[in-house]
Structure 1
Amino acid sequence: MNSIKLIKSLIGQVATASRPLTSPEVQLLRRNYSAAAYTTRYADYDHIQVTAPHDHVLHVELNRPEKRNALNRDMFREIHACFQEIANDKQCRAVVISGSGSMFSAGIDYTDMMEMMTSVVSSDQPQRDDIAARAKFIRHMIVLLQNSFSSIAKCHKPTIAAVHSGCIGAGVDLITAADIRYASSDAYFSIREVSIGMAADLGTLQRLPKIVGNDSLVRELAFTGRDLGAKEAKEFGLISGVFGSSENTIEGAIDLARSIASRSPVAVQGTKVSLNYSRDHSEKDGLEFMQIWNMCMLQSEDLIKATTSVATKQEAPEFADL
């Protein structure tokens, strides 16, 4: 149910109630109404669905179940636009991304990809006759697709991928751009691009070696396209948690997102920025980066609130949106 329909449904519940609502019922309706109203800004997507399961937490769901969440051009555009919005969303502090239907993602939509490639090779446009012009067009297309997943990695809000069943090809590209990965016990991962005569080009070959720290395994998977089961994926560090079902996986991811969202957004977002920067730079550069970052951020009220809470053993404080 999209956000607008949910708001109408909630209003209808109040209007048709046969008795006065209890206080817990009123509070639940208020929370649901607030979440529904909040996510109306994300209601214009056709192939992804965004909901707010808890305060400061967004759930982004790949929503082409009839195509096993195969990613077409529209879906890439929507993911990019969505995470650009999330990056600027002061209320959001953590994100869960999952797939609806029978699997997380079957990878790139081959029909859509063939249409794109056919338009390049057989185009009647004179400027496409030259191989250099065609190569430039293909590179531009790849850049646009790469930017879609890079928007997840660049977003300062921590993102948790909740994977069930198949995570194939571009699906692996997507989850390697996330910060944390959970999976159901039936999940499997496959760098399937080699099976269709191409090298993966949307991030897996760049990000996966830094995630698992096992160059031999990465090359085995990339050269063969074989399936990597959830148990083996956890052993090699691709995922950090395995759950019994897809529902439990999403619940676990949302619980983790709630825990992250309860922390200071100044601290959490600064931590993600620093981890990403330090991963791609020398230790010396990473330390110098943090000197500059924290010379500003340590002046935040969040530091005083958090340290006071720890020192006095009080409940976690409320932090301002960032």
Structure 2
Amino acid sequence: MKLFNRFRHFFLNLCLGLCLNLCLGLLVFPVAALAGSADSRLIPSPQTHGAFLLEPWQPDAPSIIAFKDPYCPYCIKALTKLDKLKGYNVFMFWSPILGQASQTKVDEIFGCADPVSLSVFAAVINRRQVSCDKALQDKGENRLKQLNEQVVASYDPQSVPSYYFGGQKVHIGALDRFKRRLSTAVKPVQLNWQRYLSLKLPQQPHTGLANMLVFAPGHLRQQQAFLDALKADYRYNWFVADLSCEGRACKDSEQARLSAELRLLLAADGRKQTAFAINGMVLQPERYPGFLSEEIISLASMPAVGVGN
């Protein structure tokens, strides 16, 4: 009996530990490692998907995609607390994953001209029939419903409510904690980022939580794996500048001139290793793990081919 009790105690502790690790793992915002690529997922734009915005478009605000089912109790509860999403551009789409009743309700919602109006939300919250201005049909087709289905198919959410940032699934609370961390740990230098748009990496129509500038040597700027790793870190708007420049090309190239200007402004001249600056503040290497993925840190330290061998 004593042996049995010991085994039971051990088993219960093991289960509890696994549950805690799983729960904590789900709640942590991915800082050190980012899972998966969002390249194949459709990122909504205000031009095409403006009808799904909860508030008027804010050009400088980060964007979030929310998926909800009209019969999901947690979704209904979230609809009563939309103020928690202030500061974001929120695109909301209806994902009827809970069965035929949900699909029927979504069909009813898309009979409305505005599928994310307050009257629609009130009907969903109070579980009553939707009363709204009717949607216009284009040759018998409902364009907004088609757009909704296209985005839902692109993400295929398996649970609701679900939130995505830059094509990656996130927890709003964890995202907010990372934003607060940025505001407390980073002392931004005021830069006119519009001036340096030619240095910005092409990313999907998505606004990150901060601007991240990389002073990179020539071999890294041509390393596709490094550039892909940067673009995959959806938390940032990425700008890539020259770590150094020599010769006439420094005067003839716009990238070289802007890079030299940034090195001067951020006191980054003379550096020999790849350097990162978040919102204009140069990060010390010991702080990299708190803001950069392990992959980016590893690739940034790679020497040029033939160097150091």
Higher relative contact order (CA 8 A, sep 6+): 2
Which has more helix, going by share of residues? 1
Between Structure 1 and Structure 2, whose CA radius of gyration is higher?
2
Q: TM-score, normalised by structure 2?
A: 0.27
Q: TM-score, normalised by structure 1?
A: 0.26
